[in-house]
Structure 1
Amino acid sequence: MKRNASRLVLRCLVAALLGISTLTGCDDGQPIVPGVPSDQAPSTSQAADRSAPPQSQDGEKPVSVETEIIRVIDGDTIAVRAVAGALQPTNDAGTQHTVRLLGIDAAEMNYGKDAGPECGAQEATDHLNKLLPEGTQVTISYDSHADRTDRYGRSLAYVLVSSSDEDVNLAQTAGGYAEAWIPKGEPQPERWHEYLSAAEQAKWQHKGAYGAPANCPTLGRQ
């Protein structure tokens, strides 16, 4: 009777030991579950991370933005419709964004000043109005070398007519309505030499405000 009881206890111990060895292992201290390989499958969040497209680390802004013309301010400045997240409003009503045409400078209209418009200012404004009437669809394109905005929050950019890809900045210089210009100490935009060449040729050929009746010796800042 005692012998049978001893055998029964021994069998129970062996069975218990076999069960423990099956359910436990020593692979990096992680439990081994039957039917699951030791190389554990990734969690749901890990799988989602692998399938998701990489996100920008520095919150990059778009290189170009589509919008439309609200009005022309002068020969080198326009107001366009604001675009959430891309073209922040620059007016109190929150509806429009001001764009300063990059790489050029036209004569000043001198709004709100006692002095009248500078030589060629009205001609430059009128020409830009012809290129960009209200409602014109445009692409605001930023330069990789220049700042995107100035201290007033205005965009510093190229303005392209969406239907034709016409470079409006170039049209102003080539037509004889603006000088090629960048602030002192600022890097040259990618299209600087193209604008400079166009402006010099227009001046030599007496185009636009360089010709009659304005006959301006210079336009904008040199």
Structure 2
Amino acid sequence: MESKISLTILLFFIFLSGCIEFNNHNSNGFNDNFDFIQTHEHFYGKVVKVVDGDTVYVVAENGTKYKIRLLGVDTPETHIKNNPYEYYIDKNTPITDVNYLKKWGYKATEFAKNKLENKTVIVVFDNKAPKKDKYGRYLAYIFVSNTTYGIRKPEVFVNFNEELLKYGYARVYISNFELKDEFIKIEKEAKMRRIGLWNWSNN
């Protein structure tokens, strides 16, 4: 009888700790990502190749290979000439140094490789944006674990598209997608703090 009571108490504390852990995720803001993922078409996969800062190949669990163009963001080009009038620090200040932009294109590629290559990710499709672009690439968000890669807990995954904006590796690519306002806000903050490629001066 005593052992049964002890077991009941033990199970109660395990349950309680689980509730605390769940609440901690909520307080950290991860629950928003969990809700977003669960209410959108998505799949788990592994990033097998990073083409550049905003384009990757992902192999899904069923073996299907997808070429993913990260939705809503644009990193500087590395293989063709950049358009300096796509990157404005403010409405009057374009980044006119194309070599500077190319350098940040390579930096964005390295950032993507470090965070995504050979990692388990969640590919999430937007409810407003088209599923493919005119080149046949899938347009999607990529969520990647910010702690332990490969663990299937959507509440501990972050939106990598947003990370590119947050750390100044990309600009917002304006189109019709659900997170556009949020992306613009993140880009504005990075510009204000002169993070990443936005720390440019023409002097």
TM-score normalized by the length of structure 2: 0.60
Deviation of residue 83 (structure 1)?
5.6
> Between Structure 1 and Structure 2, which shows a larger proportion of helix residues?
2
| Partner residue, 2:115 | 131
| Partner residue, 1:166 | 158
- Partner SS, residue 118 of structure 1: helix
Amino acid paired to 1:124 = A
| Partner residue, 1:145 | 128
The answer to whether 1:118 aligns with 2:118 is: no
Higher RCO structure, 1 or 2 (CA under 8 Å, sep 6+): 2
- Partner SS, residue 158 of structure 1: strand
Deviation of residue 142 (structure 1)?
0.3
1:190-205 maps to which residues of 2 (within 5 A)? 190-205=178-193
Is the Cα–Cα contact under 8 Å of residues 120 and 216 in structure 1 kept in the other structure? no
> Between Structure 1 and Structure 2, which shows a larger proportion of strand residues?
2
- Partner SS, residue 102 of structure 2: coil
| Partner residue, 1:4 | none
Mapped to 2, the partners of 1:216 and 1:129 lie a distance apart of 28
The answer to whether 1:74 aligns with 2:58 is: no
Work out the number of aligned pairs and report it: 138
Amino acid paired to 1:130 = N
Deviation of residue 139 (structure 1)?
0.7
Deviation of residue 201 (structure 1)?
1.1
TM-score normalized by the length of structure 1: 0.55
Amino acid paired to 1:181 = Y
Deviation of residue 157 (structure 1)?
0.4
Task: Return 5+ residue gaps in structure 1 as ranges.
Answer: 1-61, 88-95, 218-222
Gap change, CA 1:216 and 1:158, over 3 Å in 2: farther
Task: Return 5+ residue gaps in structure 2 as ranges.
Answer: 1-39, 81-97, 146-150
- Partner SS, residue 79 of structure 1: strand
Deviation of residue 119 (structure 1)?
4.5
Find the partner of 2:138 among 149, 155, 159: 155
Mapped to 2, the partners of 1:167 and 1:216 lie a distance apart of 29
1:202-221 maps to which residues of 2 (within 5 A)? 202-211=190-199, 215=200
Mapped to 2, the partners of 1:108 and 1:200 lie a distance apart of 21
Structure number, greater radius of gyration: 1
Task: Indicate the percent of aligned positions where both proteins have the same amino acid.
Answer: 29
Deviation of residue 151 (structure 1)?
2.4
Could you report, residue by residue, the CA deviation over 1:13-36 in whole angstroms, capped at 9, with x for unpaired residues?
xxxxxxxxxxxxxxxxxxxxxxxx
The answer to whether 1:102 aligns with 2:71 is: yes
Mapped to 2, the partners of 1:160 and 1:216 lie a distance apart of 33
Mapped to 2, the partners of 1:148 and 1:83 lie a distance apart of 19
Mapped to 2, the partners of 1:128 and 1:200 lie a distance apart of 21
Structure 1: 4+ residue segments shifted above 2 A: 82-85, 115-119
